[in-house]
Amino acid sequence: MNNFFTASFLVGLFASTIRMATPLILATLGESFSERSGILNLGIEGIMIFGALAGFVTTYFTHSLWFGVFAATFSGFLFGLLMAFLVVTLGLNQHVSGLGITIFASGLAYYVYRAIIGSPTIPATIKAFDTLKIPGLWKIPFLGPILFDQYALTYIAVILVIVSGYIFFKTSFGLSLRSVGENPEAADAVGVDVYKMRYIALMIGGALMGMSGAFFTLAQFNMFIFDIVAGRGWVAIALVIFANWIPSRVFWGALLFGGVDALGLRLQGTAINIPFQYFLMMPYILTIIVLIFIARNASYPSALLKPYRRE
Partner 1 sequence: MSLISFKLEKRTPPSWWFRMLMPIMAVIISLAISSIFLLALRKNPFTAFYYLFYGGLGTKFAFLEMLVKATPLILTGIAVSIAFLAKYWNIGAEGQLYAGALLATWVGIQNFNLSPFFYVSLVIIAGFVGGGVWSFIPAYLKAKFKVDDVVTTLLMNYIMIYFVSAILTGPWRNPVSMWPESVNIAENARLIQLVPRSRVHIGFLIAVAIVFVAYFIVKKTKLGFEIRATGSNSKAANFLGINTLKTIIIASVLSGGVAGLAGVSEVAGVHYHLIHNLSPGYGYSGIVIAMLGGLNPFGVLFAALYFSVIITGAQMMSRSVGIPPYIADVIQGITLIVMLAMLLLFEYKISIRRGK
Pick the closer one to partner 1 by CB: 117 or 156.
Answer: 117
CB of 159 to partner 1, least distance (A): 28
Contact residues: partner 1, CB under 8 A: 42, 46, 86, 89-93, 95-97, 99-108, 110-111, 114-115, 193, 196, 230-231, 234-235, 237-238, 241, 275, 277-278, 280-281, 284-285, 287-288, 291-292, 295-296, 298, 309
CB of 212 to partner 1, least distance (A): 17
The amino acid at residue 60 is Y
Pick the closer one to partner 1 by CB: 140 or 274.
Answer: 274
CB of 66 to partner 1, least distance (A): 26
**78: CB partners within 8 A, 6+ apart:** 206
Pick the closer one to partner 1 by CB: 93 or 171.
Answer: 93
CA distance 193 to 305: 18
CB of 305 to partner 1, least distance (A): 11
CB of 193 to partner 1, least distance (A): 8
Pick the closer one to partner 1 by CB: 105 or 255.
Answer: 105
Pick the closer one to partner 1 by CB: 160 or 235.
Answer: 235
CB of 68 to partner 1, least distance (A): 20
Residue 49 near residue 106, CB atoms below 8 Å = yes
Pick the closer one to partner 1 by CB: 64 or 89.
Answer: 89
CB of 96 to partner 1, least distance (A): 5
Pick the closer one to partner 1 by CB: 50 or 215.
Answer: 50
Cα dihedral 216, 217, 221, 223, rounded to 10, equals: 150
